[in-house]
Structure 1
Amino acid sequence: MTRPALVLEHEADAPAGILAEWAAERGIELEVFAWHGASADGGDPDPSGRPFLVVLGSEASAFDDAVPWLARERAVIDRALDLGVPILGICFGGQHLARALGGTVTRATRPEVGWLEVESLDDAVVPPGRYLQWHRDAFTVPPDAELLARSPVSPQAFRTGPHLGVQFHPEVTPAIAMSWATGYPESVDNAGTTVAEVEAQGDAHAADARLRAYALFDAFLGATSG
């Protein structure tokens, strides 16, 4: 019997969001493992027998080996890769996946915050348009991986086999974005935008971004069974 798909959550204010809604509509059961919560007290999660693994965003840096749970999560990712379990990495998760596959993660030339345009190089996987961005770090595309999307700041998506890493946040709802904007005002200021602008962009673009997110998740799911 197939186990639920495994979702690694790093902070309570960075949940699966639209991804969870998509999974419910597709009849996919998710098991959320919270590094920040009680689930981390019972040992590290096992990715074996899962249809896929999702690694969500985090305020931590994927290159910072002082992060207490980073090595433990890397072991989960490495085991999933060894087992052939498809991985979807989102923002920090995409960076951690890129690093596990031989890429690098460093500070970006500048942060990106807001509902920003992503240039797609493969519309079937990353529909072109605006997605919620919220990052100060950036990954390089791992060796032998395919670049799927980019922005003026950094690569935005890559694929290798069934694995997909994205720098933007397809899972984020306007409510989640506003919780970050009000909870991390320094991130907003450092990116040269405002809380009001994040809210206005969400009102204008979130509905279309949701459709693009569903298409991206469907493309990832299709590749896992291809």
Structure 2
Amino acid sequence: MRALFVQQDHVSPTGPIGEGFERRGYELVEFPVVPADRFHAPDVEVAFPDPRDYDVIVPMGAPWSVYDGAAIGSWIREELDFLRRAHESGVPVFGICFGGQALAAALGGRVERGSEPEIGWYTIETGAPGLVEAGPWFQWHQDRWSPPPGAAPLARTRVAPQAFTIGRSLAVQFHPELTVAMLDGWLGNGGGDWVTAHGGDVERLAATTRAEEPSAVVRAHRLVDRFLDQVATRPW
């Protein structure tokens, strides 16, 4: 079994989510979209593979917005088409943050700027704790989705929807893959300035993440198991 991780940028490793799939016997295949040397000019040309060559697709987070075609160019249209083809072919999709927003947009939902950013560790309101538990989960976003027709909303915060399922696919707005090392990469790649500009405290964010990481890793593994057992196996 093979899980394709669509890594939108060079500072988004698979983390505990990748570990969760490996624990279930999946081979991880990493598909980079924007290389490090194009991070500040991300309008690259990308040829996405045939999603039917994989057993699950995991589109990951990004510092860009799904609707910002002027910045990221044609590859977002290609990615939305790729995710749509995966879903329509019965290939399970597990979308994370930008990846969840992209799944929503690909299937007829809408993505827009939220009323305020969410940065840090949040406990979410969940109507399906046996699938998506309350957390706390790490948030790093300023956009929000409206779910596509036919989706089942599962969780939310005051600011944004946090999870939905549709068919064999699951989208989450938070970052279950987040680790201390990953956060260091984000902060050092311009994210620290972004956090500060939005009133956040970088040192406190890093300290809280160090404290939360051990239990967050366990939650991430549990989320993968629940996705595979409850969503990805739905009849097609």
Normalising by structure 2, report the TM-score. 0.88
Unaligned runs of 5+ residues in structure 1 are none
Q: Does 1:65 align with 2:72?
A: no
Q: Which residue of 2 is the match for residue 207 of structure 1?
A: 214
Residue pair 1:113, 1:187 contacting (<8 A) in 2 also: no
Q: Does 1:143 align with 2:141?
A: no
Q: Which residue of 1 is the match for residue 24 of structure 2?
A: 26
Unaligned runs of 5+ residues in structure 2 are 37-43
Residue pair 1:10, 1:58 contacting (<8 A) in 2 also: yes
Taking a change above 3 Å as real, the CA distance of residues 44 and 190 of structure 1, as seen in their structure-2 partners, is same
SS at structure 1 position matched to 2:124: strand
Residue pair 2:4, 2:28 contacting (<8 A) in 1 also: yes
Q: Which residue of 1 is the match for residue 168 of structure 2?
A: 162
CA shift at 1:203, angstroms?
A: 2.1
SS at structure 1 position matched to 2:149: coil
**Using the alignment, how far apart are the partners of 1:41 and 1:140 within structure 2?**
28
Tell me which amino acid in the other structure corresponds to 2:24: R
Q: How many correspondences in the alignment?
A: 223
Q: Does 1:74 align with 2:90?
A: no
Alignment of 1:161-200 (within 5 A): 161-183=167-189, 184-200=191-207
Q: What do you get for the CA RMSD once the two structures are aligned?
A: 1.8
Match of 1:17 among 15, 23, 26: 15
SS at structure 1 position matched to 2:144: strand
CA shift at 1:65, angstroms?
A: 2.4
Q: Which residue of 1 is the match for residue 40 of structure 2?
A: none
Tell me which amino acid in the other structure corresponds to 1:52: V
**Using the alignment, how far apart are the partners of 1:25 and 1:49 within structure 2?**
21
Q: String of CA shifts for 1:142-171, please: whole Å, max 9, x gaps.
A: 222111111111000011121100100001
Q: Percent identity?
A: 39
Residue pair 1:112, 1:191 contacting (<8 A) in 2 also: no
Q: Which residue of 2 is the match for residue 91 of structure 1?
A: 97
Q: String of CA shifts for 1:113-156, please: whole Å, max 9, x gaps.
A: 11222222111111112111100111112222111111111000
